[in-house]
Chains A and B, each alone.
Chain A
Amino acid sequence: DAGVTQSPTHLIKTRGQQVTLRCSPISGHKSVSWYQQVLGQGPQFIFQYYEKEERGRGNFPDRFSARQFPNYSSELNVNALLLGDSALYLCASSLALNKLFFGSGTQLSVL
C-alpha cells in the first residue's frame, strides 16, 4: 500500500508569494495533520483535520490555512511568504485520531 504522499518534494518561492502544498493520506485514513520543521528543530504542529473538519490549530499566523477534501486529501496554503517560512512541511495521516504516519515532506525555500 502507498504511504503518505506529498507534493511537490521541493519548492522555491520568493517573499510575498503564495504557496500550496498537497498531501494524500494512506487509503482509509480520515485524519490529516500538518507540521512545519525548521532545520535542527522538532516538527511544530500547524493543523489537524478529521473528517474534513478542523480539529486542532497550532500557534501559526492566519497566513497559514488548510483544508481537507471529501477524498481526505489535504492542502496547506501559506500566503505572503516570509523568509522564516523556509522549512520542511510534513503531512501525517492517521486512522481516526491515533498513530501518525508521516510523509517525507515538502522542502520549501523562500528567497
Chain B
Amino acid sequence: DAKTTQPNSMESNEEEPVHLPCNHSTISGTDYIHWYRQLPSQGPEYVIHGLTSNVNNRMASLAIAEDRKSSTLILHRATLRDAAVYYCILRPNNNDMRFGAGTRLTVKP
C-alpha cells in the first residue's frame, strides 16, 4: 500500500489559515488523495478529496503538487472547532481506506 507521511502535530492561532502537509512519494496514478478529520470522541469525518487538480469545498481546500508526491490541506480560517486529528489517505480507485497516524491540530484562541 502506498504510504503517507504527516507531521505528528501542528499548532495554529484562531482565525488564521492552516496548512497541513502530507507527503506521498510512492503514490500511483490511480490513487485518490483523501482527507478526513476526527474530532474528540467522534468517528472520522470526510473533509475533501482529489486526484490531480486542486479542489475546494465549504470546509477546506486541497492543493496537490504537480508531481502528486505531496499535497496540502488548507483551512482558510481556523476555529476552535477545527481542533482535531487530520488524516491524509491514499485510496486506490474506490477501495478500502487505510489510515495513518495523522496530524493532531491544536487551535489556540
Binding site for B on A (CB under 8 A): 4, 33, 35, 41-45, 48, 55-56, 58, 90, 92, 96-105
Query: Which residues of chain A are near B87, meaning CB under 8 Å?
Result: 42
Q: Is the interface of B mostly helix, strand, loop or mixed?
A: loop
A105 — which chain B residues lie within 8 A by C-beta? 43
Report the number of A-B residue pairs with Cβ-Cβ less than 8 Å.
Answer: 51
Q: For residue A45, which residues in chain B have a CB less than 8 angstroms away from its CB?
A: 96-99
When distances are taken between beta carbons in the complex, the residues of chain B under 8 Å from A97 are 94-95
Of the residues B42, B46, B96, B97, contact of A104 by C-beta under 8 Å:
B42
Query: Can you list 17 residue pairs at the A/B interface with Cβ under 8 Å?
Result: A4-B43, A41-B101, A42-B102, A43-B99, A44-B99, A45-B97, A45-B98, A55-B95, A56-B95, A90-B44, A92-B44, A96-B94, A100-B97, A101-B46, A102-B44, A102-B45, A104-B41
Which residue of chain B is the closest to A46 with respect to CB atoms? B96
- Report if B49 contacts A (CB, 8 A): yes
B interface with A by C-beta (< 8 Å)? 36, 41-46, 49, 85, 87, 94-102
CA distance A42 to B41 in the complex (A): 13
Residues on B with beta carbons closer than 8 Å to the beta carbon of A48:
95-96
Q: How far, in angstroms, from A58 to B95 measured CA to CA in the complex? A: 12
Cα of A48 to Cα of B41 in the assembled complex, Å: 23
Residue of B nearest to A94 (CB): B94
Are the CB atoms of A103 and B97 closer together than 8 Å? no
